[in-house]
Structure 1
Amino acid sequence: MNNLFREKPLAFPGNSPQTTMNYYRLKCLKQSSQEQNEILIARLAEVGFESFEETDTHILAYIPEKDFRENLTDDIAYCRKTSPEITFIPEQNWNAAWESNYPPVWIADRCYIYAPFHQKHPEAEFNILVHPKMAFGTAHHETTAQMIELMLEEDFTGKTVLDMGCGTGVLSILASLKGAKQVDAVDNDTWSYNNTEENSKANQIENITPVLGDASFLEDKTATYDIILANINKNILLRDMPAYVQALKSGGKIFFSGFYDSDLSDIKTKAGHLRLQYKSHRTKNKWVAAVFIKN
């Protein structure tokens, strides 16, 4: 699943060692809702923009000079209407800029998510090495962080786990470190698929199976998983929830995130229709992570 909302800070263009390249930056005002911003980012990605950054007021999108052309965004209605600012960004070491803006993450005094240019935390119960690249899920965003907090309270020993919209694979890796028997990590984004595979190897994890796909992967899976992790967005969660429930064992748990507190009632209603019982949730900056149990 493409996780269309993005972590802060985001990856800068070309974040491989000593990467230098000319880029163009598109700067446009944010829209009135997060969902609209997610759709805009998705449309920009479709026409070739490869890195995104969000400020309080703007979305910044970067595209390599070789892929840029005039009128590139003419078929995106919002861009036609607002005439975003286009700036040429000359060659520089993007990797150095990216590293300087990417801090490690320390969650619940137990889990430490760090990049290759950081050191492990000596007091962390779980140290997770992440090569963030273009994939969502570095734990800077409230949704990922809250999912990790909930997971730290859960027993994964011997469990089969599904991670939908896996991004970097950080949730899959934590599930494995907490004793999961097998983890299927699914994402329809090639960056995420490759990044999950890379990060699993970096953490010496062998029981994570990356899958390039979407909820159709679950069509032939009935009562397969003990725990499902789905950190995506409201619309995809509502659309694919029946497939998740079919693949979840009786008594199994689903961890949902990627939506606002104002959306929780819709998630609860849909879940109730599918025999999912609400257990608990937590909120941070209006973002929600919630747990449901299959009756």
Structure 2
Amino acid sequence: MKFRKIIARFQADNIELAEEVICHIFFSFNLKGVICEVPIPEPDEGFGTRTLNTPEHNSIIGYLPDTDDSDLMISQIKDRLAGLSDINVQVNVLSERVDEKDWAHAWKEYFNVTRITDKILVKPEWKEYTPAPGEIIIHIDPGMAFGTGTHPTTSMCLELLEEYVQPGKTLLDVGCGSGILMIGAAKLGVSAMTGIDVDPMAVDITRQNLQKNDISLDRVKLGAVTLDKTPATKYDLICANIIAQVIVSIMPDIAARLAQDGTAILSGIIEERVPDIYAALDAENLECVKKHTRQEWVALVVCRKN
């Protein structure tokens, strides 16, 4: 099967903001295998080779099946991206036809063994690493889903999970992607888990990655569904590593599923959107008890107000 590779090269004063909004547009058109070619920190010494080159262009890359509708969809994507000039993001869109085998493995060169904390490391299955005693290794194949641990939003979530997970607690992961947060939570001691994503492929990849990490599916519920279509079960921990716009829109559904003494970890937020999140929290009688920031990305720890 042929695919169309969509390359959005961009210039912007705020690279993080541009990255967020372009990715959001790509996801809204259901593009797969989205890759962000922007400057990112190198892996720590000893946890992957220092082979991450600075990209020649800031680019977001995604793929869609090459069908009769592809040209129309690409035209619509270009129109959406052209509108970003209103926020000083200039985008040039390129496209090319590729074979499925070429894009299915394209992202692998960007993914190394990554140390998240003193205790947690993320390892792609094609990389070698011998763990030290006490280290938690998350074996992951992100496939066509987002979530490798290298992005600040994901690494901050894992750091906060290490801090807030208590053995025997329950977890809801909204937008489970590759399943990386569920795997980390399970290895930290969470018992029952639910993971949802609007993309059925992400749910399937999550299931595969849980099995690769020897996590019994008997303790897991997975679904390709939006949060408002899930039962209003109460959870001790809720993770939502999405984007600020979506988090704001689903805040009532998050609040309805958060246990009275529960904790929510919200990430995928850029600093400029934090006031919007705070306003949405306040409307649901929730409050931020900890703010974690890295490279203009923000993760918030949220609880009910006393």
TMscore range, shorter length:
0.7 to 0.9
Q: CA deviation at 1:172?
A: 0.9
From the superposition, tell whether residues 163 and 61 of structure 1 become closer, same or farther in structure 2 (CA, over 3 Å): closer
Residue 221 of structure 1, aligned match among 213, 227, 232? 232
Q: Following the alignment from structure 2 to structure 1, what is the Cα–Cα distance between the partners of residues 256 and 104? A: 43
Inter-partner Cα distance in structure 1 for 2:188 and 2:99: 45
Amino acid at match of 2:7: K
Cα distance between partner residues in 2 of 1:93 and 1:86: 14
Secondary structure of residue in 2 paired with 1:73: helix
Give deviations 1:199-232, integer Å, cap 9, x for gaps: 11111112222121111234x425x111111111
Alignment of 1:160-239 (within 5 A): 160-206=170-216, 207-218=219-230, 220-222=231-233, 224-239=234-249
Which residue matches 2:7? 27
Alignment of 1:124-143 (within 5 A): 125-143=135-153
Letter in 2 for 1:29: R
Show CA shifts across 1:43-64 (max 9, x none).
543xxx5333333433333345
Partner of 2:53 in structure 1?
none
Change (3 A) 1:116 1:142: same
1:78–1:108: structure 2 CA closer, same or farther, 3 Å change rule? same
Give 2:60's aligned residue. Answer: 59
| Alpha-carbon distance, 1:164 to partner | 0.7
TM-score, length of structure 1 as denominator length: 0.81
Say whether the 8 Å CA contact 1:155–1:178 is kept in structure 2. yes
- 1:92 and 1:68, CA in 2 relative to 1: closer, same or farther beyond 3 A? farther
Counterpart amino acid of 1:58? S
Aligned partners of 1:172, 1:210: CA distance in 2, in Å? 11
Seen in structure 2, the aligned counterparts of structure 1 residues 263 and 121 have a Cα distance that, compared at 3 Å, is farther
Please identify, of 181-190 and 206-215, the stretch whose mean Cα deviation from structure 2 is larger. 206-215
Map of 1:32-111 to 2, 5 A cutoff? 33-34=17-18, 35-45=20-30, 49-56=31-38, 57-63=58-64, 70-76=71-77, 77-78=79-80, 84-89=93-98, 97-111=106-120
Unpaired runs of 5+ in structure 1? Answer: 1-20
Q: C-alpha offsets along residues 154-203 of structure 1, whole Å, 9 cap, x if unaligned?
A: 23211111111111111111111111120111111111110111111111
Structure 1 vs Structure 2: percent identity of aligned residues?
26
Counterpart of 1:13 in structure 2 is none
Out of 238-247 and 117-126, give the one that drifted further.
Answer: 117-126
Counterparts in 2 of 1:278 and 1:36: CA distance versus 1, 3 Å: closer
Structure 2 unmatched runs, 5+:
39-57, 84-90
The 1-side partners of 2:178 and 2:94 are apart by: 31
Q: Distance in 2 between matches of 1:79 and 1:271?
A: 30
Q: Does 1:249 align with 2:255?
A: no
Residues 74 and 80 in structure 1, CA contact (< 8 A), matched pair in contact too: no
The answer (yes or no) to whether the contact 1:137–1:167 under 8 Å persists in 2 is: yes
Count of residue correspondences: 270
Partner Cα separation in structure 2 for residue 80 and residue 261 of structure 1: 24
Which residue identity does 2:33 align to in structure 1? Answer: S
The equivalent position to 1:292 in structure 2, one of 276, 298, 302, is 302
**Aligned-pair CA distance for 1:93:** 5.4
TM-score for the superposition, normalised by structure 2: 0.78
- Partners of 1:65 and 1:272 lie apart in 2 by 45
How far apart, in 1, do the equivalents of 2:159 and 2:82 lie? 41
Q: 1:274 to 1:103 in 2, by over 3 A?
A: same
In structure 2, the CA distance between the partners of 1:75 and 1:205, relative to structure 1 (3 Å rule), is same
Name the structure 2 match of 1:6: none
* Contact 1:200–1:208 (CA under 8 A) maintained in structure 2: no
C-alpha deviation, 1:236, in angstroms = 1.3
State whether residues 9 and 92 of structure 2, in contact with CA within 8 Å, keep that contact through their aligned partners in structure 1: no
